[in-house]
């Protein structure tokens, strides 16, 4: 499996007045294609900072980040935009849907920026993938929280990215809806999608292949859950069969 993300010695320092805040402290992080990774940790531990750094939404104070083999430090904003647009899909806690656009149009939005037109079938396909085939013409205000997050996931998928980065995607959702969102993620992962999901919900985080724990801007732990997940899966199948 190829290494899709390779980060070495990432540091991020914010200034608040005279105080320096170390959001990330010498973090090394590697991600192999096709993995489903969760990042967990208390608030202020640097989860979101790391995710934004991986997605090139934010630049590290020092350290190097290779995305799909491309070193990102020193890249022009234009090239960063292209790299991000072609390879990464973002999902946010607040959904950030355009209230004036229907579900279908919100999903279509990134195509506008990547200058791809007439992708009706592709949009239909994504709507179906996120389970919203019959809700395409609804405005966000007419959708439930879970449906809105599905639209946001659809929007992240439309440009056919290599990686999905999700920042607390279930933070605003109740537990059963959250579970459905994670099942959607696992479905995508089974089709080969690479995912990094930040969450504070341990139960959900355990459904990934690998779970990282962050504390005070450092990686405090890393657990491979692949085996365990498999047993969970078979147990689920067994109970459904019974």
Partner 1 sequence: MNFLTLAAKNLLRRRGRTVLTVLGVAIAISVLFSLLALNSGYERELDKEVNSMGVHVLAVPKGCPYEAASLIIHGGVIPKYLSAGDVENVSRIDGVELATPILMHQFMKKDDKTGIYTPHIIYGIEIEDMLRLKPWWKVEGRLFADNETRVMLVGRDLADKENLSVGQVLPVGPDKEDFAIVGILDRTGDQDDQFHFFPLAEAQRVFHKEGKITTIAVKLRDVTQISAVSEEMEKVPDIQVVTMTQVMGTIMNLAGSARSLLLTVMAVALIISAFGIINTLLMSVNERTREFGMMKAVGASGTDIARIVLAETVFITIAGGAVGIISAIIGSSLIEGFVKGMLPYSPRGSLISISPELIGFALAFSVILGLACGIYPAIKSSRLTPMEAIREGLQ
Residues of this chain that bind partner 1 (CB under 8 A)? 52, 55, 57-58, 77-78, 81, 84-85, 89-90, 92, 94, 96, 98-101, 105, 108-110, 112-114, 155-156, 159
| CB 88 to partner 1: min, Å | 8
| Nearest CB to partner 1, comparing residues 159 and 213 | 159
> Between the CA of residue 102 and those of 58, 94, 109, what are the distances in Å?
29, 17, 10
> Between the CA of residue 240 and those of 86, 101, 139, 178, what are the distances in Å?
39, 39, 35, 20
Q: Which residue has the tokens 């590697």?
A: 30
| Nearest CB to partner 1, comparing residues 28 and 160 | 160
| CB 207 to partner 1: min, Å | 25
3-class DSSP assignment, residue 119: coil
| Nearest CB to partner 1, comparing residues 105 and 147 | 105
Cα separation, 169 vs 152, whole angstroms: 9
| Nearest CB to partner 1, comparing residues 8 and 96 | 96
Q: List strands edge to edge, sheet with 3-16.
A: 19-32, 3-16, 62-67, 70-71
| Nearest CB to partner 1, comparing residues 35 and 84 | 84
Task: Measure CA of the first residue to CA of the last residue in the chain; give whole Å.
Answer: 37
| CB 105 to partner 1: min, Å | 5
| CB 239 to partner 1: min, Å | 39
Cα separation, 31 vs 196, whole angstroms: 9
| CB 5 to partner 1: min, Å | 17
Cα separation, 204 vs 199, whole angstroms: 8
| CB 168 to partner 1: min, Å | 12
Cα separation, 28 vs 17, whole angstroms: 28
| Nearest CB to partner 1, comparing residues 25 and 59 | 59
Kind plus residue range of the DSSP H or E element containing 152? helix 145-157
| CB 22 to partner 1: min, Å | 17
Cα separation, 67 vs 122, whole angstroms: 26
| Nearest CB to partner 1, comparing residues 159 and 194 | 159
Cα separation, 133 vs 121, whole angstroms: 12
């Amino acid at each position: 499996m190829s290494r899709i993300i390779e980060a070495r010695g990432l540091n991020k320092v914010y200034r608040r007045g005279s105080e320096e805040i170390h959001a990330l402290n010498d973090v090394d992080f590697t991600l192999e294609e096709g993995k489903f990774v969760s990042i967990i940790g208390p608030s202020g531990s640097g989860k979101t900072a790391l995710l934004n750094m991986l997605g090139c939404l934010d630049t590290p104070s020092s350290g190097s980040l290779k995305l799909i083999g491309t070193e990102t430090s020193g890249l022009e904003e234009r090239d960063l935009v292209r790299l991000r647009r072609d390879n990464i899909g973002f999902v946010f806690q607040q959904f950030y849907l355009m209230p004036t656009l229907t579900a279908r149009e919100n999903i279509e939005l990134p195509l506008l920026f990547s200058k791809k037109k007439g992708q009706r079938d592709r949009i239909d396909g994504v709507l179906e993938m996120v389970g919203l085939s019959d809700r395409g013409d609804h405005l966000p205000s007419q959708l439930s929280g879970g449906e809105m997050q599905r639209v946001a996931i659809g929007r992240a998928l439309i440009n056919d990215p290599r990686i999905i980065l999700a920042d607390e995607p279930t933070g605003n959702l109740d537990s059963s809806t959250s579970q459905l969102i994670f099942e959607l993620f696992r479905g995508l992962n089974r089709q080969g999608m690479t995912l990094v999901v930040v969450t504070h919900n341990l139960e959900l985080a355990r459904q990934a292949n690998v779970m990282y724990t962050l504390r005070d801007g450092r990686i405090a732990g890393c657990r491979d859950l692949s085996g365990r997940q498999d047993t969970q899966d078979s147990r689920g199948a067994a109970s459904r069969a019974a």
